Amino acid sequence: MFRNKVEEAYKRIQDEICLVLEQIDGKGKFVEEIWQRDGGGGGRTRIMQNGNVIEKGGVNFSAVHGKLPEPIKKAFKVDSDDFFATGVSIVMHTHNPFVPIIHMNIRYFEVQNANETEPAVRWFGGGIDLTPHYIIDEDAIFFHQQLKNTCDKFDNSFYENFKNRADDYFFIKHREETRGVGGIFYDRLTNENTKLDWQQLLEYSIAVGNTFAPTYGQLINKNRDKPFTPENQEWQYLRRSRYAEFNLVYDAGTKFGLETNGRIESILMSLPPLAKWNYNPQIIEGSLEAETQSKLKKGINWV
């Protein structure tokens, strides 16, 4: 079955990314937890804590199935309630404030018709986005160029479309600021709304997954040894608090996991190990913090 092919590809991506991150970190090791979901399926949660570079990071794989709750059926506009979903989800929080937070998710979802072999509805979704504590222009340019290179191999329209969607999606409405410098975000890609067939869509999803390790590895190695002050770390804690706000208030994956009785530890592994909500923090004009704050907006052309 096609879903099995997707599931195996995602497992390989999880394995490969964990291996590369352990090599780059040099100290931290992923601890794996195998879990089963009440209702069907399960996954492999892999967490690294207190490494040389990575303070807390997760590389999660899941493949779950069961019955869709009514609110999600209505949101997806489907009659059947037998669903299958598989994906890889990654979030990395680092010790050094000059090494950015990164998030990646690639996923495949289908709703099965009761009396037919073909799914009633199915699609691919995913993306990668970068949340620097301090925005370094050359890093943002490099990151976006890597994503564009991947997208252009499949469709020259993908990068611009998915970049704009990321700007809109990773936006903290109550703060009127973006979560970071964005990246790409796509959802509900099918053989009908793209130029790709299902095999090509799978290959694109795999290519996005394979973009993660070399891209983030270069950003880590460039910035991991930069000296930082207690003031830099306080700013890191503030930026982490904004990250947590987005994930708890707006993130669709978090909501889906909670509404489908997902595993709480795996769902909330995206939250930082330490963040701060100091009251009404003031940013000094002309500072690195002010420069970063000025770039937390939609529509910046990084390529």
Which residues are identified as catalytic?
103
How many Å apart are CA 159 and CA 106, to the nearest integer?
16
Q: Which two tokens stand for residue 263?
A: 């595993």
Which is nearest to 270 in space by CA: 249, 248, 255? 248
Pairing of the two strands 54-67 and 119-131: unpaired
Integer-rounded Cα radius of gyration of the chain: 19
Q: Which two tokens stand for residue 119?
A: 């799914």
Q: Which residue has the tokens 């950015």?
A: 100
Instruction: Tell me if 147 sits within 8 A of 126, measured CB to CB.
Output: no
Residue 152 backbone dihedrals phi, psi, to 5 degrees: -65, -20
Instruction: Tell me if 83 sits within 8 A of 109, measured CB to CB.
Output: yes
Residue type, 173: K
Q: Which two tokens stand for residue 243?
A: 């990250």
Residue 302 backbone dihedrals phi, psi, to 5 degrees: -85, -10
Between CA 203 and CA 250, with CA 68 as vertex, the angle to 5 degrees is 70
Between CA 200 and CA 208, with CA 205 as vertex, the angle to 5 degrees is 125
The CA distances from residue 246 to 41, 131, 218, 252, 265, in Å, are 28, 12, 26, 10, 18
